[in-house]
A and B are shown apart, each in its own frame.
Chain A
Amino acid sequence: FPAFSLCAGAGQDVGRSCILVSIAGKNVMLDCGMHMGYNDDRRFPDFSYITQNGRLTDFLDCVIISHFHLDHCGALPYFSEMVGYDGPIYMTHPTKAICPILLEDYRKITVDKKGETNFFTSQMIKDCMKKVVAVHLHQTVQVDEELEIKAYYAGHVLGAAMFQIKVGCESVVYTGDYNMTPDRHLGAAWIDKCRPDLLISESTYATTIRDSKRCRERDFLKKVHETVERGGKVLIPVFALGRAQELCILLETFWERMNLKAPIYFSTGLTEKANHYYKLFITWTNQKIRKTFVQRNMFEFKHIKAFDRAFADNPGPMVVFATPGMLHAGQSLQIFRKWAGNEKNMVIMPGYCVQGTVGHKILSGQRKLEMEGRQILEVKMQVEYMSFSAHADAKGIMQLIRQAEPRNVLLVHGEAKKMEFLKQKIEQEFHVSCYMPANGETTTIFTNPSIPVDISLGLLKREAAIGPVPDAKKPKLMHGTLLMKDNSFRLVSPEQALKELGLAEHQLRFTCRVHIQDPRKEHETVLRVYNHLKGVLKDYSVQHLPDGSITVESILIQATAHSEDQGTKVLLVSWTYQDEELGSYLTSLLKKGLPQSTS
């Protein structure tokens, strides 16, 4: 019977991840993301899929969030506070620290800027986070008596984790978003050979062959350099944590190498916050960063200084990192407005921008923007986009499968396109089944649970001594009694089992009558039978007892005269259940008749 069923709430869109897993009677929700492209109810997953009536808290055993990107956690406050869920929510420490910031930021844009009403409030975000239990990497967390989870490093962004969910001997590993190659500030994802029954992996970038990081960085530096050389200003709107650190390290190295003099600034608020989080979560970054951090403060760059609002009006070239990342409010928007009119300047958007933000508008090609107070802003500065996001490609997915050795693989993908090739590739290389459900589809995966049974040492020794010498290559059949008590399984000898259970052994005896034509006296018949059997059954112990009966091993043969016919003798052959085989053989042998020789 099925041990799993799965409902992919994510599936089709690069926008919203939410997967429901049923494993051995436990129900777990993996991620709770929001779709960034929609402005209405479609942005949240349809939670009525889960249960039509009945409370979600009763149905779900826990919720797990893989990392702080909004397409993985954006619907969490809506889910827990507006739909209603009071059970535990698990995520890593950095995720717990950073999630609320992003959620609040997004809430501000949606409600304040766009005037939406059916959205979660700041208080809801706070209440939601109170239900969060933070976990450490490789720490086994008991959700309840049977369900346990464990987080593994996923790379991708600070705090991103892959989760192993285990109930008894069945397990699932969910990767969230991960990256198999390290970058400048994060390491690569890693998992041990945990052999889960199912590995759920993202596969959005599975068909992509990315151009090398070196090329992208080189082009980025070229653009920055060209702008600065002609006296222009470069604005890079960033979120506090993540790619900003990568780019800072990149620029610092470049500035040093090229001996450039133009100033690079970093928003003050940013510096402190980033510093704080990096110090707090230093174990989540890669080796190089940790070494650097030990030697000096992350942000004591030679060429990067703290920014002051007034600097934006300074003449001459400069590069500024400012928040927020989508140019929707705050400092980065202020600076943008000041610099937009000059074609010598450039703005480089480092990531995805939500619809409705200035960032999104200029990336779509809009060059005349309506600002507050109906002011029109003409954008003459160069607009560039560059993505340094880190996801696993086909090679990375194969690597992860090789590390974890799952029995089944399920791919969650961003687009509804056929990935038959990848499916075959995985199936051929690893001899596992590969599934690719669509949004809303349920996939059932059958597992072969192994049931561990303890075998008593005495039984093992005894059985091993019987028959041929145990051979590593040939399976050996052993007999014992299986005792199932509470949740333990034991294999013991029958005698032991009887003793433990307080039962007496029943003896089963079979008796068969064989008629033989022999007019002589009974004791002569017996002698004939005895000699016959002795001659035929040379390997067995055939004995003639003083009381006139014959034994073959433990089988008893007695002869009596037939009550009605003196010429016929009746042989009673009697044996125990254990000697069934020999008994049957003897009977058929005797039925064939006795040889005609004289005794």
Chain B
Amino acid sequence: YRDLHTFELQAPTRVIEWARGSRVCVAGYGQSTGNEILQLIPPPALQAKEAQGLCPERDFKVECGGFSKRPVYSLKHVPDTSLLVTSGPPDSSLQVWQVSAEDSDVIKSVGTIATENATGKPWAKIATLSARAPWVLHGSTLDSVQITEVELRKNVYTAGCQDGEELAGLAFLDGSTAVLCCARGRLCVADVRQPRGALQALPAPAAPCGHRWCLGTACAAQGPGLGAQPVARLSSGGLLTLTDLRKASEPLASATARVPSPGSGAEFLCVSWAPALQGCLAVSGFDGTVHVYDTQSWDSSGREAEPVFVHKGHALDGSGDPALVTVHTWHPQKPRTVLSAASNGSLHVWDWVQP
């Protein structure tokens, strides 16, 4: 490590989202009511150019907070607004919140985006686009994918699909395209300029049945056009598949991450591309570690890949039940800085060194 800071949140989180002004948002996912949504100001040390060891300000500060009756499974900031949306069981509706840091430090609930036949459906996955429109792409199943304009709560797009397959993730690729990943691994691409447009389906990667998948895409603002960065899919068995959406018929590359078996389920599977390092991605959710891989050396054989770095901090922390990493995210500017959280409430900020 070049640097490692460990913190303890009052309640564990499964979301770490960056917001305007280098803020970080976390939220509780406990089953009982009284989950908190916190917007944190990271310590100046994190924002500085060089690592500072004994900087006086080493702590996160809670800038504002809100109370959510539901567990928060997903949280996204709506760019260019002071709104954020969350989702969580027991249904697929979204909750809208207002963050107004000037006169009050409370994040207020300002409404709900209800979806048809929301009850009983799994919780909705959310994606936002950092472009002119305050759009939120959301849905819990293929046939319920839609885009809502958040400020007016107006629906601007609905996917024309009858398939009720459960979604594992979705993302904007750019202002006109979105990619959807089903829990069973299938990818679909949607042209969001065509309301009720059909989805272009891509085959699921070859993998044993029963595996669940999740999606990792690069930040939509970065590359222009479709698939400037390949789309990564991670299965609960550790299989990682990279697909270039321009040539989607066959996977670009694939490898298998070394994961403990039996796996601990697919609840917290997370895969993400490093915004500032070409071909570098991080994987977590199998145990108390976060793996970093360099995919540039991968081929399509799918054999086991060696991580370039493994963060074991969460597994070593504390006693009692082993911690499970719930989520991780890359720092948008500092190339090797990662934030990760685990089921024991720990929050780590680490800066790894290329061996």
Contacts and interface: CB of A to CB of B under 8 A. Distances in A.
Contacts of B347: 209
A384 B58 CA distance: 13
Given A211-B7, A212-B8, A421 B62 contact: yes
Summarize B's interface: helix, strand, loop or mixed. Answer: strand
A211 B6 contact: yes
Given A394-B10, A417-B105, A208 B54 contact: no
Nearest to A216: B58
A39 to B, nearest CB: 23
B53 A222 contact: yes
Contacts of A210: 7, 58-59
Nearest to A220: B54
A77 to B, nearest CB: 31
B64 interface: yes
B202 interface: no
Interface residues of A, number: 30
A421 B64 contact: yes
Interface in B30-83: 34, 36, 40, 43, 53-56, 58-67
Given A223-B54, A428-B67, A211 B43 contact: yes
Contact of A215 (B6, B60, B103, B104): B6
A421 B105 contact: yes
Contacts, number: 78
B4 interface: yes
Given A395-B10, A418-B105, A208 B36 contact: no
Contacts of B62: 207-209, 394, 421
B105 to A, nearest CB: 5
Contacts of B259: none
A251 interface: no
Given A222-B53, A395-B10, A421-B105, A215 B4 contact: yes
B43 A219 contact: no
Given A215-B4, A220-B54, A348-B54, A208 B61 contact: yes
B103 A207 contact: no
Interface-centre pick from B34, B40, B54, B56 (highest chain A CB count, 10 A): B54
Nearest to A207: B62
Interface in A377-398: 384-387, 394-395, 398
A215 B351 CA distance: 14
A504 B330 CA distance: 89
Interface string A176-220: 000000000000000000000000000000011111101110011
A387 B55 CA distance: 9
B58 A428 contact: no
Interface string A215-241: 110011011000000000000000000
B9 interface: yes
Nearest to A418: B105
Contact of B54 (A219, A395, A421): A219
Contact of B104 (A212, A214, A418): A418
Given A212-B6, A214-B6, 18 more contacts: A209-B60, A209-B62, A211-B5, A211-B59, A212-B7, A215-B4, A219-B53, A223-B54, A395-B10, A418-B103, A418-B105, A420-B105, A420-B106, A421-B62, A421-B105, A424-B67, A424-B106, A425-B65
8 contacts: A209-B62, A209-B347, A215-B5, A215-B6, A215-B58, A385-B56, A421-B65, A428-B67
Interface of A: 207-212, 214-216, 219-220, 222-223, 348, 384-387, 394-395, 398, 417-421, 424-425, 428-429
Q: Which 10 pairs across A and B sit closest by C-beta, in order of nearness?
A: A209-B60, A421-B65, A384-B54, A207-B62, A212-B6, A219-B53, A386-B54, A211-B5, A208-B59, A421-B105
